[in-house]
Amino acid sequence: MPDIFDELQEDLRAERARQLGMRYGGILAAVALVALIAIGGWQGWRWYQTRESEAAANAFLVVHRETEQQGADLKAAAEKFDSIAAQAPVGYRTLARLRAAALKSETGDLPGALAEWDAVANDSAADPLYRDLASLNWVLHALDTQDPAMLAARITPLAAEGNPWRASARELQALVAIRQGQMAEARRILEALSTDTTAPQALRDRAGRTLAQLPNA
């Protein structure tokens, strides 16, 4: 009798497995297929990203080398960097925009340069370090053309403790204060910068020279 019960239990397990297979086999197969497709899709996407990054890197280096040649057409190079930025993954898109901005500024296209820096500063996908650098350049090159209140508002977050660009941002805060006629504030910032041992020496020296040129209160 025990053998019969054992066989019956085996048969029941087999039948249950068969019915479950008939009932859910299609679903399980579909899940497995989706998983395989997802894995394959992820690997394909990674391959695609790698290929795109390599292509962007090569294009970036080619144009960068062109700009270092004597007599290079820097305006044309800026346009090439714009073309790279339009197609490259986010990392090289950011670098290409920054290079295009620098070249446009160098060749006298200040509105174009400011637009490039503004685009990087407002690109949420870009690295915060580069976004802040773009804002820093935007303020630096807009000192004579933009509203001082706007400049002050834009540079203030970069001057916060712990920001990698804090020293440069503080220097720009002083220049904005000078433009606003706030000489006491500019003097306070420059005095602090000139003795700030965490700031680059060149920046400290420049702060001292600017401080010496301020009119006496």
What pLDDT is attached to residue 28? Answer: 45
> Among residues 176, 121, 175, which one has the least CA distance to residue 153?
176
Residue whose tokens read 């894995």: 39
Element (H, E) at 199: none
- Residue in 98, 109, 30 with CA at minimum distance from that of residue 64: 98
pTM for the predicted model, two decimal places: 0.73
Q: Are residues 121 and 61 located together in one domain of the fold?
A: yes
pLDDT score at 120: 94
- Domain boundary residue, one of 127, 162, 192: 127
Judge whether 90 lies within some domain: yes
Establish if 89 belongs to a structural domain: yes
**Chain segment 28-41, per-residue pLDDT in tens:** 445 444 554 555 55
Q: Give buried/exposed letters for 142-176 (b at 16+ CB in 10 A, else e).
A: beeebebeebbebbeebbeeebebbbbbbbbbbbb
Residue 206: give the domain boundaries: 143-217
Sign of the alpha-carbon dihedral angle for 132, 138, 143, 145: negative
pLDDT value of position 38? 54
Is residue 136 assigned to a domain?
no
Query: What's the pLDDT at 54?
Result: 72
Backbone dihedral angles phi then psi of residue 153, each to the nearest 5 degrees: -65, -35
| Rounded Cα gap, residues 207 and 201, in angstroms | 10
Helices assigned H by DSSP within 126-165 = 128-141, 148-155
Say what the pLDDT of residue 61 is: 81
Predicted local distance difference test score (pLDDT) of residue 24: 45
Which 3 state secondary structure label does DSSP give 82? helix
Q: What is the DSSP letter of 216?
A: P
Between CA 69 and CA 188 the distance in angstroms is 44
Q: What is the pLDDT of residue 29?
A: 45
* pLDDT score of 43: 53
Residues of the chain under the 70 pLDDT cut: 1-53, 56, 217
- Domain's final residue, options 96, 127, 158: 127
User: Quick one: 206 and 179 in the same domain?
Assistant: yes
